[in-house]
């Protein structure tokens, strides 16, 4: 028998309570019974997004909410800034170009956060820019971008800040209303502790005014249509009923724990993971601006990172993630968001130690685990 552990940055583990909720008999999506579930989930999302605005629930991956944000807010020919510091920052720009927008690319070295001063310089030189598109947490590089500072740059301009919070919402503090974020996007399979299949997006009052003028084509991802249906406690098209039922359960768990406690837990797990990797003398991908959602680590030069990740998954039963694009085979990523806690990190660190030894790398067994334990003990009285 081999027990398996899911420690990749999406999908993440799903709590038993949520699985049981989704296993309940399916109810029709156009009934008062489901409408109450849908309404409660939508209200709980406001708590997690830290907003008074409606949070739309879409049957899609997070990319669907990203694409919808572009098609609902901008018109062909509009200018936007795309912070390209990883695979998903690149996606913002690619979607924008697909809709005929002019993209001012900011190419940030993978593993680094964007400098807000660079964004300000482009905004000052290009007053027609209508949007700044960025990640709060760039999943592919384990970097947290300075969203608060970026949002401050757009407040007094005719320009929106559009944030991919797919591995940020429910992980660390990204208060939408307080910071003046105009669009905040997330997905179900990360910190919200669900299988893939739901996307979420909230728009500020300013963003809704942009929506009124936007002329890009849209049909399924029509945010106004979704908002109108949300007022009726339903969605414009067939919702993923079982996932929405699970969503209500997972959000109730988050609210019971409390956002502040949730954020503290994620930071502790992230700190423990980074400390463990440094104790093993491994180089972190994002040492200066690390995301609490996932830790990126360079594999030793003599080891093929793809084979390393495959061995952990197939032989040891521990699923982590490798690198993407030019980092493929060079790094691995350990997630610590959502339904992940103390002993999941111990397992991940111990597995990395054992795999390093298997691949011929000199390592003192228990050194990484001991470093992690020192941090993790802070979570116990």
Provide the CATH number for the domain around residue 265.
3.90.1150.10
Are the C-beta atoms of 58 and 68 separated by less than 8 Å? yes
Domain boundary among 256, 279, 312: 256
In which order are the strands placed within the sheet that holds 55-59?
Answer: 55-59, 198-203, 183-187, 160-164, 129-135, 79-84, 102-107
Based on the fold, state whether residues 265 and 365 are members of the same structural domain. Answer: yes
CATH number at residue 36: 3.40.640.10
Does 241 share its domain with 114? yes
Domain check: are 213 and 299 in the same one?
no
Query: Do 329 and 208 share a structural domain?
Result: no
Residue 62 neighbours by CB under 8 Å, 6+ apart? 164, 166, 185, 186, 187, 199
What pLDDT does 97 receive? 98
Residue 108 CB contacts under 8 Å (≥ 6 apart), including other chains: 83, 84, 85, 89, 114
* Token pair 């990883």 in the structure block, residue: 86
Q: Are residues 103 and 206 in the same domain?
A: yes
Q: Check residue 233 and give its pLDDT.
A: 96
Give me the pLDDT at residue 17, please: 98
Same domain, 324 and 210: no
Q: Please check whether residues 67 and 130 belong to one and the same domain.
A: yes
pLDDT given at position 379: 80
Q: What pLDDT is recorded for position 89?
A: 97
267 shares its domain with 220: no
- For the chain, what is the domain count? 2
Instruction: Indicate whether 263 and 215 sit together in one domain.
Output: no
CA distance 272 to 280: 12
Do residues 185 and 286 share a domain? no
Domain boundary residue among 223, 256, 289? 256
* CA–CA gap between residue 162 and residue 371 (Å, rounded): 38
Residue that terminates a domain, selected from 228, 256, 284: 256
Give the structural domain span for 347: 5-11+258-379
**DSSP E strands: which ranges in the chain?**
5-6, 55-59, 79-84, 102-107, 129-135, 137-138, 143-144, 160-164, 183-187, 198-203, 294-298, 318-319, 321-322, 331-335
pLDDT of the residue at 380 = 81
300 and 152 in one domain? no
Per-residue confidence of the chain (381 residues) as pLDDT tens digits?
Answer: 889 999 999 999 999 999 999 999 999 999 999 999 999 999 999 999 999 999 999 999 999 999 999 999 999 999 999 999 999 999 999 999 999 999 999 999 999 999 999 999 999 999 999 999 999 999 999 999 999 999 999 999 999 999 999 999 999 999 999 999 999 999 999 999 999 999 999 999 999 999 999 999 999 999 999 999 999 999 999 999 999 999 999 999 999 999 999 999 999 999 999 999 999 999 999 999 999 999 999 999 999 999 999 999 999 999 999 999 999 999 999 999 999 999 999 999 999 999 999 999 999 989 999 999 999 998 886
CB 266 within 8 A of CB 137: no
| 167 and 233 co-located in one domain | yes
């Amino acid at each position: 028998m081999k027990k398996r552990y899911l420690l990749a940055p999406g999908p993440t583990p799903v709590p038993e309570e949520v699985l049981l909720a989704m296993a309940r008999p399916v109810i029709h999506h156009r009934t008062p019974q489901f409408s109450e579930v849908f309404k409660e989930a939508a209200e709980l999302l406001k708590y997690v997004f830290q907003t008074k605005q409606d949070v739309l629930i879409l049957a899609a991956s997070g990319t669907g909410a990203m694409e919808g944000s572009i098609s609902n807010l901008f018109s062909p020919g509009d200018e936007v800034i795309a912070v390209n510091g990883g695979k998903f920052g690149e996606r913002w720009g690619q979607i924008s170009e697909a809709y005929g927008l002019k993209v001012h690319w900011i190419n940030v070295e993978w593993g680094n956060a964007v400098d807000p001063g660079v964004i300000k310089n482009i905004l000052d030189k290009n007053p027609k820019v209508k949007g700044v598109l960025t990640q709060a947490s760039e999943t592919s590089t384990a970097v947290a971008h300075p969203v608060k500072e970026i949002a401050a740059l757009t407040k007094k301009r005719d320009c929106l800040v559009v944030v991919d919070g797919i591995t940020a919402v429910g992980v660390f503090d990204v208060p939408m209303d307080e910071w003046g974020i105009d669009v905040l996007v997330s997905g179900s399979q990360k910190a919200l502790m669900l299988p893939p299949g739901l996307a979420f997006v909230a728009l500020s009052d300013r963003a809704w005014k942009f929506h009124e003028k936007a002329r890009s084509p849209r049909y399924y991802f029509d945010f106004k249509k979704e908002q109108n249906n949300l007022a009726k406690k339903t969605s414009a098209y067939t919702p993923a009923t079982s996932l929405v039922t699970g969503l209500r359960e997972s959000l109730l768990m988050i609210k019971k724990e409390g956002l502040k406690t949730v954020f503290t837990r994620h930071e502790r797990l992230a700190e423990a993971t980074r400390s463990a990797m440094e104790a093993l003398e491994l180089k972190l991908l994002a040492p200066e601006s690390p995301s609490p959602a996932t830790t990126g680590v360079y594999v030793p030069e003599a080891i093929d990172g793809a084979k390393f990740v495959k061995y952990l998954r197939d032989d040891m039963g521990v699923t982590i993630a490798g690198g993407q694009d030019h980092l493929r085979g060079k790094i691995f990523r350990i997630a610590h968001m959502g339904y992940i806690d103390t002993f999941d990190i111990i397992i991940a660190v111990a597995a990395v130690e054992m795999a390093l030894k298997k691949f011929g790398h000199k390592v003192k067994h228990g050194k990484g685990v001991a470093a992690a334990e020192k941090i993790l003990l802070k979570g116990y009285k």
